[in-house]
Every structure is written in C-alpha cells, then in structure tokens.
Amino acid sequence: MHRAPTLLVIPLACLSLAGPARAEVMGASASGFHIRVETVLPVDKATAWEQFIHPQRWWNAEHSWFGKRANFSLSPVAGGCLCEIQGDSSVQHLTVATVIPGERMVLLGGLGPLQAMGLNGAASFSFETVEPGHTRVVHDYRVSGYNPNGFTQLAPIVASVQQLQLDGLAASFSSSTD
C-alpha cells in the first residue's frame, strides 16, 4: 500500500514554522507562482554541494511518497533524476536540466501533487559563499500552468514545504537523524 504524498497537504498553521524571511512568495497569479527560499549553511560550498546532491541524507521524509528519505537519489547530470524508489515503485520528482557543480543546479517538473495537476516548474538552487566556511543556498521555484483556483493560496504552502526541505539540508550538518 502506497502512502499519499503530503507535499501540499499540511495545515496552514505550519506556515509559521518557516524561519523569518527565509521562505517568501515572490509573486502569484492566475497562471503560476514564484517562491524563494534561502538558508545559510555552516560549511564551504564544496561541502554544501556534496550534501545537496545526496537528498537521502536530508530530504524531509514526511514529504515523500514512501515515507523514507533513504529512497531518494539525485543524478547530478543533465537529464538526471531526483527520484524516489521503493522496490518496484518509483517516482520521478524532477529532471535535472542544468548542473554547474558547486554553483548551481536547475531541475524541471512539478513536485508532489503539482505533478498530477499537470503543472510545470523550474527549481533552481544557487550556492554562494557569504563568508569563509558559510554558504548561502537560494532556491527559486517557478511554477506555471492551469489551476482553476489560481495560485495565491497554493504558493505559500509550497514555500513552507520547500523551507522544510532546506531546513533539513541545514540540519543535516548538525545531526544524523532519519
């Protein structure tokens, strides 16, 4: 039996869990939205990148199809996949479009329920040194398509879930919990 993905099925109260000014809706309209999430990691860019390309170390298991972060993998080459595999079941969450190791990755697709809604998205992750031993990760996710209800209510929910993902990446440098 498969667990339903909970990417967007979270109470609005969880929006307050995101750190101040870390997850932001840059814009939302009838045809799409743009969110930005930022975090600063206590490591250099090379270390941040190495951890980032191993989502099985940091992905929030509550926002997965099968409930285990160990099922995630990322092939960091153009055409690669951010995938989740459990036995004979698999999910292609995003497809890798651009890789500049240690600097930038762009992935295409709709995460979780956005995929079934037929929405398209570009998720970019940029890495920059803010001071020696500290790296800022900026995640922009631009989603477009048709949603009969528009995107004003959906965008902040997606932003909060993506904040949870970057919080997981940050936390992975201080703990090894699953």
Among candidates 164, 49, 157, 146, which has minimal Cα distance to 101?
Answer: 49
Average pLDDT, the chain: 88
- How much is the pLDDT for 174? 84
Statement: residue 18 has pLDDT above 70? no
- pLDDT cut 90: percent of the chain above it: 84
Look at residue 112 in the predicted model and tell me its pLDDT.
87
Rounding to the nearest 10 degrees, give the CA dihedral for residues 87, 170, 133, 20: 150
Stretch 154-169: mean pLDDT: 95
Indicate the domain borders of the chain. 31-171
Give 178's pLDDT tier (boundaries 50, 70, 90).
very low
Cα(165)–Cα(112) distance, rounded to whole angstroms?
Answer: 13
Q: According to the model, what pLDDT value does residue 85 have?
A: 97
Task: Answer whether residue 43 shows pLDDT above 60.
Answer: yes
Q: In the CATH scheme, what is the code of domain 31-171?
A: 3.30.530.20
At residue 4, the pLDDT reads: 42
Give pLDDT, residue 175: 60
63-115 confidence digits (pLDDT tens) = 999 999 999 999 999 999 999 999 999 999 999 999 999 999 999 999 989 99
Q: Tokens for 9, please give them.
A: 């099925």
Residue 148 has pLDDT above 80, yes or no: yes
| Average pLDDT estimate for 28-49 | 97
pLDDT at 145 over 80: yes
Residue whose tokens read 């941040």: 48
pLDDT at 20: 30
Q: Do the Cβ atoms of 95 and 108 come closer than 8 Å?
A: yes
List, in sequence order, the alpha helices (H) in the chain.
45-52, 113-116, 154-171
pTM above 0.75, yes or no: yes
